[in-house]
Structure 1
Amino acid sequence: MLIPRLLWLVPALLLTLALVLLVASEYATARASRRTKDVAYVAATAPDFDAARHRLDVYAPRTTSSTLRPVVVFIHGGSWNSGSKNLYSFVGRRLAKQGVVAVVINYRLSPGVRVPDMAADCARAVDWTARHIADYGGDPNRLFTMGHSAGAGLAALLAVKDELFAGLGRSTNPVKGAILDDPAGLDMFDYLTKLEYPNDEQYLIPFGKDPAFWRAVSPMYHVRAGNPPMLLFVGGETYPSITSSSRRFHERLQALGIRHEYTTLPGKKHVGMVTQLYWKNNVIYQSLLRFVGVKP
């Protein structure tokens, strides 16, 4: 009985192993970027300040530019209960090498907090970025969110739910677009209502048991005309739940006339959708650079 219960851990373990190997390899290669590490994006005096999780790293190109560069805030995945910015230095370095100022963030995780607090953390990180990124050569008026898996779901939520920033005193949402890499969590209301896949009950820990919360943190129910453009990339062999929710999200964007691109990458599984970001010439970066306005 124990082995079947542990099978759901295998994808997370494989992802962690693959990322550790990529990070080790990354430090053995030349890096055309400058990293500013462990910047606190929440004041240490805040009552909920988490010294480990309220941190971000900024990756800026070493080459000079006469104009401010586009900015991408990357949010890691990990089933809302694991993951760290430290595993994704290769994303920050690859983006910086190609002319983007990258911000790779941590946020608090389950079971310490639930997803609404994670979304609030990510919004605070984006707010910090909008206020400070010009000091690193980034353009706060060209700020995009990006993520993989659970992080992509949060990246989408930041793009469509203006209330996350209104609570921070912002009259407008600073996110100008989102890049979603095999996104999870686009419609957790539907997912948790059905509970049709093995071990789905595990997600009741980060999402709780209140359907109102499931809807509140599902980007599907906040999309409206006028939302910023998006890029969606889905693995051809990813999880069925990601395939179906991404397709329905695409249809929702399409119905509202929101500019976006929806791309299925044949043969790619869920883990491979993020590990491919180690190579700067992969299709996601090619589309991303055009999307954020990097000139070749």
Structure 2
Amino acid sequence: MRFLLLRLLPALFCTVLLLAVAAEYAAARPSHRTADVAYVPATDSAFSAERHLLDVYAPKMQSARPYPVVVFIHGGNWNSGSKSLYSFVGRRLAKQGVVAVVINYRLSPQVRVPQMADDCARAVVWTQQHIGEYGGDPARIFLMGHSAGGGLAALLATDDNLFRRWGLAQNPVRGTILDDAAGLDMYDYLRKMQYPNDRQYLTAFGPDPAKWRQVSAMHHLTAQTPPFLMFVGGKTYPSISSSSAQFRDQLTKLGHTPYYQVLPGKKHIPMVLQLYWQHNIIYQKLLPFVGARSGDEK
């Protein structure tokens, strides 16, 4: 019964999100969406016509100063998920004076996590090069991710090599918002294999412990790591609770002061569904973090 429930959860999650998306389009929003922009050239040998796409949500209100930018990376257990399910995130951010970039990336089993991280890095590189065309500030790029997307966002913020390979001398990420992030230390997680069905993750992460460490943000933290906001569900999975606390503690040891909040009673999926509501706690903390001006909110 428990295994059947675990198999049904992704479908239930998608159903709830689709209902949210339908409700979203029932009313006009003060934002403009540019959909299905390719962030990898079609001539690239790795190009995926479905997965190498992003949507940009920009405030309709003109501003004398470019808006801060948030790149949102969806979750889905590294093997599912789509930007189309998260239009509500893009629209809520744009409504509050942020240019939002909601991305797709390739998934398991077609690729493994290093290739997913590379896709996300290329989306951020595209953002830095082009976001000025949408009213965004290329000098104020922040990341946000839920679940597996949170782990990828943390990795991009901490591993400068992901950007050096694409010609950037400096990591363009100015800060990261983690929403019940998974995969912050898969090196530790996969060595222990302490939960039922943990071997499923070898499809996405491969059999090599050196690769697990490479894609674990925990092992790239330094004193120069950009700031983090961290939100954890009070009733989320134990592995997310423990790895998030360890991530916070390691940041603190390195001299950082990450914002860290446990949201009582919240399970893993509601941690992202709450982003449907404009005034939830994550947006309340995110807006000053990225430098969105209160006057931009409409």
Give the alignment's TM-score, normalised by structure 1: 0.98
1:165-184 → structure 2 map (5 Å cutoff): 165-184=163-182
**2:235 is matched by which residue type in structure 1?**
E
**Cα deviations across residues 189-225 of structure 1 (Å, max 9, x unaligned)?**
1111111111111111000111011100000000000
The alignment status of 1:76 with 2:52, answered yes or no, reads no
Deviation, 1:4, is 4.9
The SS at the match of 2:81 is coil
Residue aligning to 2:27: 29
Residue aligning to 1:286: 284
The SS at the match of 1:281 is coil
Residue aligning to 1:8: 6
The alignment status of 1:244 with 2:242, answered yes or no, reads yes
Residue aligning to 1:129: 127
**Cα deviations across residues 125-144 of structure 1 (Å, max 9, x unaligned)?**
00000000000000010000
Residue aligning to 1:52: 50
Give the direction of change, closer, same or farther, for the CA distance of 1:51–1:22 in structure 2 (3 Å limit): same
Does the 8 A contact of 1:40 with 1:54 survive in 2?
yes
| Number of equivalent positions | 294
Residue aligning to 2:106: 108
The SS at the match of 2:143 is strand
* Residue in structure 2 matching 1:96, options 89, 94, 97: 94
Identify unmatched segments of 5+ residues in structure 2.
none
**Cα deviations across residues 46-102 of structure 1 (Å, max 9, x unaligned)?**
000000000000000000000100000000000000000000000000000000000
Residue aligning to 1:38: 36
Distance 1:10 1:268 in 2: 19
**2:76 is matched by which residue type in structure 1?**
G
Structure 1 window deviating more from structure 2 (115-124 vs 198-207): it is 198-207
Distance 1:146 1:264 in 2: 17
The SS at the match of 1:165 is helix
Residue aligning to 1:235: 233
Does the 8 A contact of 1:39 with 1:56 survive in 2?
yes
**1:77 is matched by which residue type in structure 2?**
G
Does the 8 A contact of 1:228 with 1:259 survive in 2?
no
* Residue in structure 1 matching 2:273, options 259, 272, 275: 275
**2:85 is matched by which residue type in structure 1?**
L
The SS at the match of 2:231 is strand
Give the alignment's TM-score, normalised by structure 2: 0.97
1:254-273 → structure 2 map (5 Å cutoff): 254-273=252-271
Deviation, 1:113, is 0.1
Distance 1:12 1:249 in 2: 26
**1:285 is matched by which residue type in structure 2?**
Y
Structure 1 window deviating more from structure 2 (255-264 vs 106-115): it is 255-264
Q: In percent, how many aligned pairs have the same letter?
A: 65
How large is the RMSD of aligned CA atoms in angstroms? 0.8
